Structure 1
Amino acid sequence: MRLIDLSSPVDAAGWEPEPVTHQVTTPAEGARHMAEEMREHFGIDFDPAVLDDGELLSIDTLSLTSHTGTHIDAPSHYGTRASYRDGPPRTIDELPLEWFHRPAVVLDLTDAPPGAVGADRVQAELDRLGVPVAPFDIVLLRTGADRWVGTEKYFTDFTGLDGPAVHLLLDLGVRVIGTDAFSLDAPFGDILRRYRETQDRSVLWPAHFAGRDREFCQIERLAGLDLLPRHGFTLSCFPIKIAGAGAGWTRAVAFLDDDRDDSEAITS
């Protein structure tokens, strides 16, 4: 079994619309902090100098959104309405684990310009697969946007799906759709430009708003989909269990058989 990491990093040095802060407490600082805490709360004196190199443990403190790095959007991210069930849409900690360890396929959209592709293009890619997509299979969209990770362009130049394209996949029984782009929708600038020109509300984040009427998840900000075959592998992408959250980070990993023919991988 060969494992391929499909995750983009959480990196405070990269460009993000919501900046990430990453504060490191060094092992030496951790030793001094522990000594101070023991003295203040428990009245115990401890000299950190007795530790090897005067060091205890490091601690990383980060400030970021749950949509930083590779993450999974839960149904509650799409709004407070869920027409498909009684009660509110489910949060990331409420979703079945079975959704996130499934056979997966890759659709190649690398030649599409920034904006949103429609159902006709998605159907053409499904026809190229040569195998049917079964209910609960995971569909991954390779757009090539991951080459811009860490730059401002990553958030402005990518390809998403329109509403009918999303519904086409959901009609097949898909419950998790992934992309190597910032969003499953078109870039914000493209969406707002088309709305100003047409006043058509259906162009406003249709890939996300589809989740108000049909329960599904999106994996956004994947990477390395060019290393995968079109089909015949399993994706593991369990979300972090954040209580009540609309999204959770994931370390997405593809499982491939060692004896697989690498000539089946998608090439540019």
Structure 2
Amino acid sequence: MPTLVDLTRTMDPENRARVHESFKALETVIAPNITYLSPESGGRDRMMAIFGCTAGDLPDGEGWGEDLLTDMNTHCGTHVDAPLHSGRLVEGRPARTISDIGLDELFRPGMVLDLREWVQPGTAIPVAGLAAAVEATGRDIEPGDAVLLRTGQERWTMADAEYYDYPGMTGETTRWLTSRGATVLGTDALAWDRPFPVMKKAFEETGDPGQIWDGHFAIRDKEAFIVQQMTNLAALPLTGFTVGFFPMKLPRTSAAPARVVAFLPD
């Protein structure tokens, strides 16, 4: 049996209260609100209403456990972006949605690019860093690979301002990976691109629209699936494993929360 390594962040609603005050608008991509209907209260009441029974009719006076999720973005927690997230057309064709992607496309050989010595908060990840990290794995990127970026964001929690000032990718560096055959692009950062305030400032200073969300827009040229908010990359070797990215089966959406698991051979 392979060793399983969970690379998925827990979508804990308590984390919504921990979101730094400057980033409260991001709550819906951190976790849903959850209403817990326990067997001794809400779940019991639901069963009594459905079956017309009393608590005395139920084993130990208990019903079922049930939970309601609300206020949740499809880009919540560890999630897979479908090409549609980057635009209506990808490679000149209608962009695919989550329900268009086969599971075989999301079960791929993986490699970790350890970029920690190459990155700085709130700045673009350099091509030189990517190249050096690929070399450190001992092999080249192969067509169909899942490339996972370890930027060091595991040091921070959602209560830390540093969590939101992550190193990010650009159009140039995204194309550097996809041109080499990577089809799944993962990161331990909150997002793939540079932080929104960084891109906004660069656009205001230069007037260059190419500064706006250029990492994601690069997918319009070469299709790939971006996976954000990963965790536990330190538990993986640099290569020699397979990763399964298993998104919720939602119809026609631009993303879906996913359980991401690495499979390490014995």
Mark yes or no: TM-score above 0.5: yes
Instruction: Give the secondary structure class of the aligned counterpart of 1:232.
Output: strand
Cα offset, 1:34, TM superposition? 1.8
Q: Which of 107, 115, 119 is the aligned partner of 1:109?
A: 115
Unaligned runs of 5+ in 1: 39-44, 259-268
Structure 1 segment 1-268 matched on structure 2, within 5 A: 1-14=2-15, 15=19, 17-19=26-28, 20-28=32-40, 29-38=42-51, 45-63=52-70, 64-85=72-93, 88-111=94-117, 112-114=119-121, 115-151=123-159, 153=161, 156-258=164-266
- Spell out, residue by residue over 1:80-103, the C-alpha distance to the aligned partner (whole angstroms, 9 max, x if none): 233432xx2110111121121111
Does the CA-based 8 Å contact 2:36-2:67 persist in structure 1?
yes
Amino acid at match of 2:106: F
Does the CA-based 8 Å contact 1:175-1:216 persist in structure 2?
yes
What percentage of aligned pairs have identical amino acids? 35
Does the CA-based 8 Å contact 1:146-1:221 persist in structure 2?
no
Does the CA-based 8 Å contact 1:18-1:65 persist in structure 2?
no
Instruction: Give the secondary structure class of the aligned counterpart of 2:35.
Output: strand
TM-score, length-scaled by structure 2: 0.88
Instruction: Give the secondary structure class of the aligned counterpart of 1:161.
Output: coil
Q: How many residues align?
A: 250
Stretches (4+) displaced over 4 A:
none
User: 1:263 maps to what in 2?
Assistant: none
Instruction: Give the secondary structure class of the aligned counterpart of 2:246.
Output: coil
Amino acid at match of 1:23: T
Cα offset, 1:67, TM superposition? 1.3
- Spell out, residue by residue over 1:5-24, the C-alpha distance to the aligned partner (whole angstroms, 9 max, x if none): 11111011112613431111
Kindly report the root-mean-square deviation, in angstroms, between the aligned alpha carbons of the 2 structures: 1.6
Cα offset, 1:149, TM superposition? 3.7
Instruction: Give the secondary structure class of the aligned counterpart of 2:247.
Output: coil
Query: Could you tell me how far apart the structure 1 residues matched to 2:239 and 2:120 are?
Result: 24
Does the CA-based 8 Å contact 1:84-1:215 persist in structure 2?
no
- Spell out, residue by residue over 1:100-123, the C-alpha distance to the aligned partner (whole angstroms, 9 max, x if none): 111100111223112211323212
Cα offset, 1:129, TM superposition? 1.8
Does the CA-based 8 Å contact 2:76-2:256 persist in structure 1?
no
- Spell out, residue by residue over 1:19-53, the C-alpha distance to the aligned partner (whole angstroms, 9 max, x if none): 43111111132122222133xxxxxx422312222
Task: Mark the structure with the bigger radius of gyration.
Answer: 1
Query: Could you tell me how far apart the structure 2 residues matched to 1:230 and 1:36 are?
Result: 54
Stretch moving more, 146-155 or 25-34: 146-155
- Spell out, residue by residue over 1:118-166, the C-alpha distance to the aligned partner (whole angstroms, 9 max, x if none): 3232122212221122100100000121332432536522111111111
Query: Could you tell me how far apart the structure 1 residues matched to 2:91 and 2:241 are?
Result: 33
Does the CA-based 8 Å contact 1:145-1:157 persist in structure 2?
no
Amino acid at match of 1:6: L
